[in-house]
């Protein structure tokens, strides 16, 4: 069955991670440029942190795609929590070394120490959701970075679990610390409209006035993931009315009532 315009608009805001969905927004583009430039420095560790839904995973994915053709880079989107499997996976990815049996940290350090990559050939490891790693494994990652034969970008949620990151012996090894924040109302409007315009939904993009975006921002606090969730629901409601009660929706304008209905359905309002 053919999807109508509201169903298509709804699916634009599915909570998926695809580098093709990356949008050039002023502040985020500045942060990305800064992050990419930092990878050329003699770093040990870059820390990328922020609340869930601020775009950390998307920045890591874009960085991975952009660097893939010019240097050895590996992205681990899902944490490998077992230490033995963590080191075996890295040994395979970085050095094409297969281990059927256990590979502990001491053994892996001997492998790393025997490698002598050129400065511009040092492999880069991107770790997403790093707040899930144990303190013990984070300590070992720090020691790996100390060899200067492996670089790390570590992305994690800004939570109480940052204690291991904040410790002096770890903090001194971080070359850059980059924090991502929620969007302002003006940034959120650009984000919504750019996502829709990228899919050639120019008329729907124009439906979002500053007032309607301010209301959306009130409920989502400018968090990209929460905004996607709310707008997915909003267009689902528009689709229902368009098919069953078209007189209840107004063409060319996002109604505050439907924004509020969406906020109730998604739990941003306790009704």
**pLDDT tier, 22 (very low <50, low <70, confident <90, very high otherwise):** confident
**Residue 167 and residue 42 share a domain:** yes
**Residue 193 and residue 139 share a domain:** no
Give the pLDDT score at 169. Answer: 53
55-79 average pLDDT score: 94
Give the pLDDT score at 167. Answer: 56
Give the pLDDT score at 24. Answer: 85
Q: In terms of C-beta density within 10 A (0-12 exposed, 13-18 middle, 19 or more buried), how is residue 215 classed?
A: middle
Q: Average the pLDDT over each of 131-140, 164-173, 239-248, 257-266 and give the range with the smallest value.
A: 164-173
**Residue 155 and residue 54 share a domain:** yes
**Residue 152 and residue 219 share a domain:** no
Cα-Cα-Cα-Cα dihedral sign, residues 218, 223, 229, 235: positive
Q: What is the Cα–Cα distance from 180 to 83, expressed in whole angstroms?
A: 28
DSSP state of 266: T
The CATH number assigned to the domain holding 169 equals: 3.40.50.300
Q: Which domain holds residue 256?
A: 5-15+183-265
Around Cβ 208, how many Cβ atoms within 10 Å?
19
**pLDDT tier, 43 (very low <50, low <70, confident <90, very high otherwise):** confident
Among 145, 160, 180, give the residue marking a domain's end: 180
| 151 touches 123 (CB < 8 A) | yes
Q: What is the Cα–Cα distance from 20 to 88, expressed in whole angstroms?
A: 31
Query: Looking at the 3D structure of the chain, how many domains does it have?
Result: 2
**Residue 219 and residue 137 share a domain:** no
**Residue 141 and residue 190 share a domain:** no
pLDDT for 173 beyond 90: no
Among 150, 180, 210, give the residue marking a domain's end: 180
Instruction: Please report the beta strands in 31-110, taking only residues with DSSP state E, as ranges in sequence order.
Output: 45-50, 73-76
**Residue 154 and residue 111 share a domain:** yes
4-29 average pLDDT score: 89
């Amino acid at each position: 069955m053919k999807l109508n315009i509201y169903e298509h608009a709804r699916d634009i805001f599915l909570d998926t991670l695809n580098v093709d969905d990356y949008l050039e927004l002023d502040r985020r583009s500045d942060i990305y440029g800064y992050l990419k430039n930092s990878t050329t420095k003699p770093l040990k560790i870059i820390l990328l942190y922020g609340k869930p839904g601020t775009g950390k995973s998307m920045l890591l994915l874009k960085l991975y795609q952009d660097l893939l053709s010019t240097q050895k880079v590996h992205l681990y989107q899902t944490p490998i929590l077992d230490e033995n499997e963590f080191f075996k996976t890295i040994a395979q990815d970085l050095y094409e070394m297969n281990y059927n049996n256990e590979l502990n940290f001491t053994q892996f350090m001997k492998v790393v120490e025997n490698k002598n990559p050129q400065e511009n050939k040092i492999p880069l490891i991107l770790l997403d959701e790093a707040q899930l790693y144990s303190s013990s494994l984070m300590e070992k990652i720090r020691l790996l970075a100390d060899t200067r034969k492996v670089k790390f970008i570590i992305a994690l949620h800004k939570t109480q679990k940052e204690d291991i990151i904040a410790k002096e012996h770890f903090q001194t090894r971080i070359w850059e610390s980059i924090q991502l924040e929620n969007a302002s109302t003006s940034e959120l409007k650009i984000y919504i409209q750019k996502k829709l315009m990228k899919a050639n939904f120019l008329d729907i993009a124009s439906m979002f006035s500053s007032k309607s975006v301010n209301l959306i921002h009130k409920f989502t606090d400018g968090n990209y993931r929460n905004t996607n969730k709310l707008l997915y629901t909003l267009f689902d409601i528009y689709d229902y009315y368009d098919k069953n009660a078209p007189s209840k929706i107004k063409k060319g304008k996002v109604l505050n009532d439907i924004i509020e209905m969406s906020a109730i359905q998604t739990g941003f309002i306790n009704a």
